[in-house]
Amino acid sequence: MSPYKAVIFDLDGTLADTIHDIAAAANASMAARQHPVHSLEEYRRMVGHGLRNLCWQALPEEARNETELDICHRLTMQYYRAHPVDGTRLYPGIKEVLVRLHDEGIHLAVLSNKADELTRVIVERLGVAPLFTVVSGLRDGFPRKPDPAGARWVMDRLEEQTGERILPAQVLYVGDSGVDMQTAANCGFVSLGVTWGFRCREELVENGAGQIADSAADILSAALP
């Protein structure tokens, strides 16, 4: 029997490889404003703190001001809304893992620093929305991860919708970045860092990953010991 009542997943770099669509959206805004564009590898180092922060990092230093940031963020969101899953795919084995956990009666949730509307659209378009009890991106009035406020909101919704009391120690939090590992620590969750995403193993370990997953099957080993 699993020690966990819930598993909360990050989205980008954990459930799905979203970097191609993120890069395309950001580069579209950079090009429209006649700024230099960036490579996929450069964007891998920028993701994790939301699209507005990514736009700030993508801007050349001389153009980093709130007015230009507002324009580039708006253009990035406009492009991304029109092309949310052109190149986005679930990582190998992830759907099978979600189905197994769901069938085992474990409640599943998504918590992302991506805008809430985009998070919901992407999860829906990838065909896995019915497996999740709660899907949440960055909401108005909530700070980004690793602040625990968003995760606590997700926990409240899980308890509300399932009618179960879920303690922090009964939650496995799965993510690919130091931010995710910090989020888990700030909430008292058990953390599982995945190595196939946008960050390296060293970052996960340095930020307190309780366990490391090198394949989707390792998620099942951690959640269903």
Rg (C-alpha) for the chain, rounded Å, is 17
- Clarify whether residues 131 and 208 are in a common domain: yes
- Clarify whether residues 76 and 105 are in a common domain: no
Helices (H), the chain: 19-32, 40-46, 51-58, 66-82, 94-103, 116-125, 149-162, 178-187, 201-206, 216-223
Residue 48: band (very low, low, confident or very high) from pLDDT cuts 50, 70, 90: confident
Could you give the CA distance from residue 134 to residue 154 in angstroms, rounded to a whole number? 7
Residue 163: band (very low, low, confident or very high) from pLDDT cuts 50, 70, 90: very high
Q: Mean of the pLDDT values across residues 165-193?
A: 97
Number of domains forming the structure of the chain: 2
- Clarify whether residues 77 and 124 are in a common domain: no
| pLDDT at residue 74, as a whole number | 97
- Clarify whether residues 180 and 95 are in a common domain: yes
3-class SS string, 87-120? CCEECCCHHHHHHHHHHCCCEEEEEEEEEHHHHH
Task: Specify whether 176 is catalytic.
Answer: no
- Clarify whether residues 51 and 131 are in a common domain: no
Residue 150: band (very low, low, confident or very high) from pLDDT cuts 50, 70, 90: very high
Please give the C-alpha separations between residue 162 and each of 58, 72, 119, 132, 168, in angstroms, as whole numbers.
Answer: 41, 40, 22, 12, 15
Q: Mean of the pLDDT values across residues 54-67?
A: 97
- Clarify whether residues 78 and 183 are in a common domain: no
Q: Which of 10, 12, 176, 180 is catalytic?
A: 10
- Candidates 160, 159, 206; CA nearest to 180 is 206
Tell which of 33, 61, 82 closes a domain.
Answer: 82
- Clarify whether residues 54 and 145 are in a common domain: no
| pLDDT at residue 69, as a whole number | 97
Q: Is the pLDDT of residue 64 over 90?
A: yes
- Candidates 41, 45, 51; CA nearest to 20 is 41
More confident residue, 48 or 22: 22
Residue 32: band (very low, low, confident or very high) from pLDDT cuts 50, 70, 90: very high
User: Whole-number mean pLDDT of the chain?
Assistant: 96
> Is position 1 within any domain?
no
Q: Mean of the pLDDT values across residues 201-221?
A: 97
| pLDDT at residue 1, as a whole number | 81
> Is position 64 within any domain?
yes
The burial of 177, by beta-carbon neighbours within 10 Å (0-12 exposed, 13-18 middle, 19 or more buried), is given as buried
- Clarify whether residues 162 and 96 are in a common domain: yes
| pLDDT at residue 67, as a whole number | 97
Could you give the CA distance from residue 212 to residue 192 in angstroms, rounded to a whole number? 6
What the block records as the tokens of 179 is 């931010």
Q: What is the domain range of residue 194? A: 6-17+88-223
Q: What is the percent of the chain with per-residue pLDDT over 70, rounded to a whole number?
A: 100
Tell which of 82, 100, 126 closes a domain.
Answer: 82
| pLDDT at residue 49, as a whole number | 84
